[in-house]
Amino acid sequence: MVKRTVLELSNVSRGYGEGDARLSILKGAGLKLYEGETVALVAPSGTGKSTLLHIAGLLEQPSDGDVLIGGRNCNDLSDEGRTAVRRSSIGFVYQFHHLLPEFSAIENIMMPQMIAGLSIPEARKRSKAMLDYMRIGHRGDHRPAELSGGEQQRVAIARAVANAPLLLLADEPTGNLDPETAAYVFSALQALVRQSGLAALIATHNHELAHRMDRCVTLVDGKVVDFEL
């Protein structure tokens, strides 16, 4: 069975500055992610990891090359069009959870669904189901400050996939957690990817977690290359 290509970066380049002062970060980088797979992005700081994630997430435009999400070339979209694709097709998880502190866990997950047009009762029902799936359904009415680090990250993951995106981009999602909690949170994330069929690109320095993913890529001289740990 041929799997759908969720993300395709084709000959992507990105540089900053002009003339002799120009700094080239990505140089003809290419990458494909397929539905249901988790890919680890393992690379030293300063090699372009964040730039690659920002371009894949349509937060930044490449200097050259193409970015396709679900087969759709997003290069020529307006700012409003890029925002619409991010809202409907891309989820983001960061090292810090970025949950809204004045809202409960379930309300944080409801919010992107309501922005997308879902009714309050339906958004609450779906959010409760996601919290139950992440095994923190009993913590739904708690605010972020009342949750442990692992619970906060599980809420952040649930929020990121609340609108059933095609692509999940995660930047050190377990970086602030102790090893045992990190392993648990990653297992929940990986199970979610498998069940939903989305594709996940996860930047991490944790080689143990990277080894558990379907494959690993790194950045060498501005290009994406596969490698084995």
- Three-state helix/strand/coil letters over 19-72: HHHCEEEEEEEEEEEECCCEEEECCCCCCCHHHHHHHHCCCCCCCEEEEEECCE
Residue in 152, 217, 142, 215 with CA at minimum distance from that of residue 188: 152
The one-letter amino acid at 85:
V
| Domain assignment of residue 118, yes or no | no
The C-alpha atoms of residue 35 and residue 80 are separated, in whole angstroms, by 26
Instruction: Give the mean pLDDT of 212-228.
Output: 90
- 68-95 per-position pLDDT tens digit: 999 999 988 999 999 999 988 999 988 7
User: What is the predicted pLDDT for the residue at 59?
Assistant: 92
Residue 64: pLDDT band by 50, 70, 90 thresholds?
A: very high
| Domain assignment of residue 87, yes or no | yes
The one-letter amino acid at 203:
A
Instruction: Give the mean pLDDT of 200-229.
Output: 89
Q: Is the pLDDT of residue 21 over 70?
A: no
| Domain assignment of residue 107, yes or no | no
| Domain assignment of residue 141, yes or no | no
Instruction: Assign residue 55 the CATH number of its domain.
Output: 3.40.50.300
> Containing domain of residue 222, as a range?
5-16+23-30+38-96+149-226
| Domain assignment of residue 161, yes or no | yes
| Domain assignment of residue 125, yes or no | no
Burial 138-160 (b: 16+ CB within 10 A, else e): ebbebbbeebebbbbbbbbbbbb
If one counts the domains in the chain, the total is 1
| Domain assignment of residue 104, yes or no | no
pTM of the shown model: 0.89
The C-alpha atoms of residue 69 and residue 146 are separated, in whole angstroms, by 36
| Domain assignment of residue 113, yes or no | no
User: What is the predicted pLDDT for the residue at 33?
Assistant: 95
